[in-house]
Amino acid sequence: MKLIESLLQSLKKLSKKNIFEMATLKLDGPQPKTKDATVYLFRGLMIVGYLPPKTNLVPFYIWTIFINAFITIYMPIGFLLSFLTRSSSFTPSEFLTSLQISVNCFGCSLKMFVFLFLYRRLLSTIKYMDQLDLRVSEPEDKLQIRKIVAFCNRSNVMFTGLFLSYASSTFLTSVINGKPPYQVFNPFMEWSDRTLFFCIQAAVEYFMIDIHCYQQALLDSYPVIYITIIRTHLHILTRRIRKLGQDSKLSSDERYEALVQCVLDHKNIMAIYNYFSPVISGTMFVQFLIIGLILGITTIHIVLFADILAIFASMLYVASILAETFPCSFLANSLMDDSDNISLAIFHSDWPSEEPRFKQMIAFFLHHTQKTLILTAMKIFPITMNSNINVVKFAFSVYTLMKQMDFGQNLKDSVTGEKLP
């Protein structure tokens, strides 16, 4: 009873709030903080059972065990068992739909396990964000913080909406055709025996894939959020550096102190980067590893077997898969440029006419900003647009290889015994 009462109280509190409030840009009202850009991300980590709340810990841990045992662990196993036990009943289109989802499901579960050991590093960045906020005083800088808070939370909502749209379209397509969406192995009942079992199987699979998609949305949105935060504070710091020495009303001591504060701000930005980069390194390595194979399978599905509804669902899936790497790769490229621009801003600041200690600090600062901020996947290859393009090229190579091996004809022969026209 206490569990039900606590859930009802939480729902009442939630109903009184605008859940998309943080995803809306507001030019008035209280000034948001940088850490507000992570609000939806950390709420999501609570939903998937990673980040415990301050209260109701027992219901939370029950939910954590249930959701991760049922989705993160069993779902990939259920797909594998489904292939082993029901492969003869699949049509080629159903087989490829389940195959592309199962590959991504294995990848998502692997990323979730990697993220489980690293996500607390993201929590450690909050104190550095608060330190950076102490220096945000100019109206232009405050506006930038408002924009990124709305953008980052909106990104989380958009990733979630994109992935759930694919789950819903696949669910509707399969139910219209009279079969569960993915035919995940169910040891308790056979969905084809009774209509009630079919409805239960379809509902359970829809719930599973929705949670899976939400896990995926969190894993794909957090790089966008953190890279955006780092880039924004680099922009603010770069503008501040360019103004060094331009205010004649400041004394030499005040200008030196302003430079020291810039050095400390850069140190805080680098702390956020150093905490964040190992997290993205592990999850993006897994993502790049599987995306080429998934896109190759999806291409085979669209070209050879899919009907109109399945093509629409697969195109949403392709958009979802590309959205997992493209925004992150684009922003990682931009981060490299931003980190180089700060060195140029220091060099071109008005330092020649300053006193010796100011020049010494400038030399120290310039030395420590020479490092380009490059995000890598397990230190094997950089996360850049070029890497993203190479993965897409690999997907077409997979498709070409499968086509040359007459994969479509062999699949249809083995599954249905029919010949492709």
Name the residue among 40, 295, 15, 312 with its Cα closest to residue 169. Answer: 312
Cβ proximity of 284 and 377 under 8 Å: yes
Q: Which residues contact 32 (CB under 8 A, 6 or more apart)?
A: 22, 145, 146, 149
Does 18 map to a domain? Answer: no
Cβ proximity of 215 and 322 under 8 Å: no
Q: Which residue has the tokens 């009943």?
A: 89
Cβ proximity of 171 and 206 under 8 Å: yes
Does 28 map to a domain? Answer: no
Cβ proximity of 295 and 323 under 8 Å: no
Tokens of 92: 């080629």
Rounded Cα–Cα distance for residues 343 and 362 (Å): 10
- Domain holding 324, by residue range, is 1-7+34-138+149-412
Structurally, the chain folds into a number of domains equal to: 1
Q: In angstroms, how far is the first alpha carbon of the chain from the final one?
A: 61
Does 420 map to a domain? Answer: no
User: Phi/psi of residue 381, each to 5°?
Assistant: -145, 150
Stated pTM of the model: 0.86
Does 71 map to a domain? Answer: yes
Per-residue pLDDT of the chain (421 residues; tens, 9 = 90+): 454 565 556 545 544 455 677 778 888 888 899 999 999 999 999 999 898 888 888 888 999 999 889 888 888 888 888 777 776 666 777 677 777 777 878 888 888 888 988 889 999 999 999 999 998 888 899 999 999 999 999 999 988 888 888 788 878 877 787 778 777 788 877 777 778 888 888 888 888 888 888 998 899 899 999 999 999 999 999 998 888 766 667 777 888 888 889 899 999 999 999 999 999 998 888 888 888 777 777 777 777 666 676 677 677 777 777 777 888 889 999 999 998 889 888 888 777 777 888 888 888 888 888 888 999 888 888 888 888 788 777 766 766 766 666 655 555 555 555 444 4
Does 16 map to a domain? Answer: no
Rounded Cα–Cα distance for residues 224 and 7 (Å): 32
Q: Could you tell me whether strands 381-382 and 376-377 are parallel, antiparallel, or unpaired per DSSP bridges?
A: antiparallel
- For the chain, the farthest-separated pair of C-alpha atoms sits apart, in whole angstroms, at 86
Does 14 map to a domain? Answer: no
Tokens of 260: 């020291």
Does 55 map to a domain? Answer: yes
Rounded Cα–Cα distance for residues 176 and 251 (Å): 75
Does 208 map to a domain? Answer: yes
